[in-house]
Amino acid sequence: MEIAENQIIGELVAQNYKTASIFKKFKIDFCCNGNRTISEACDRKNLDPNVLIKELKDTTKITEQNIDFNSWELDLLADYIEKTHHRYVISKIEEIKPYLNKVVKVHGDHNPELKEIEVLFNQSAQELTHHLQKEEMILFPFIRNMVSAKIENKPLLTPHFGTVENPISMMKNEHQNEGERFEKISELSSNYTPPTHACNTYKVTFALLKEFEDNLHQHIHLENNILFPKAIKLETEFH
């Protein structure tokens, strides 16, 4: 994506919502004052435009992944999910919440569905935070222990939860709940389609929510379809 000093900030955010996080990082208003060029905004902030442009270009790079996750060892896959998807969830919750709150305050009276979307997202944020903690403190450590025990040819100690199928069953049920919650958010937002009167913050908020749901689907796929079945199979090898 070509980015130059004379580009209008608001137009750039409209083209690629991911640039919004960079403008926010540098405290540059892309919504109400989005009619300025990058150069003008940098002059006001006494900021080198080349520094800003580099970060904007980095965040808009498209990376295509064609990874065979099915061939990975379980401890590596657990590490990847935790360091990639879990961290994404936590960071994006903190990014989306203030955007969503602002949009509700400005547009909520004319678009009441935004208030319900905010309630649903805040519920999801709370539930997902607890969900990730349970995986990181209970399930993932046990999966890593199983891999180590197999490599070292040692017996597997029975965990306090009995069998790995028990926490996995709970995690899958919580995945189902989040899938249904985001299905409702998608319906309320007309599949994340902002209305014609939407400002840039409105558009960015919907784009971030869509990205969050897409990432959640990939996250759940890696666990439900690869990590969990293989963990159950590995546990049976010790009996």
Q: Tokens 């109400």 belong to which residue?
A: 32
Burial 3-31 (b: 16+ CB within 10 A, else e): beeebbbbebbbeebbbbbbbeeeebbbb
CA-based Rg of the chain, rounded to a whole angstrom?
22
Average pLDDT over residues 70-74: 94
The answer to whether residues 105 and 189 touch, using CB atoms and an 8 Å cutoff, is: no
- Which of 134, 100, 132, 130 is CA-nearest to residue 117? 100
Average pLDDT over residues 27-49: 91
Q: Tokens 């905010």 belong to which residue?
A: 118
pLDDT tens figures, 85-143:
999 999 999 999 999 999 999 999 999 999 999 999 999 999 999 999 999 999 999 99
pLDDT tens figures, 169-180:
999 999 999 999
Amino acid at 202: Y
Amino acid at 104: V
Identify the DSSP state of 70: G
To the nearest 10°, report the CA torsion of 41, 47, 48, 51.
-90
Average pLDDT over residues 53-59: 91
What is the pLDDT of the chain when averaged over all its residues?
Answer: 93
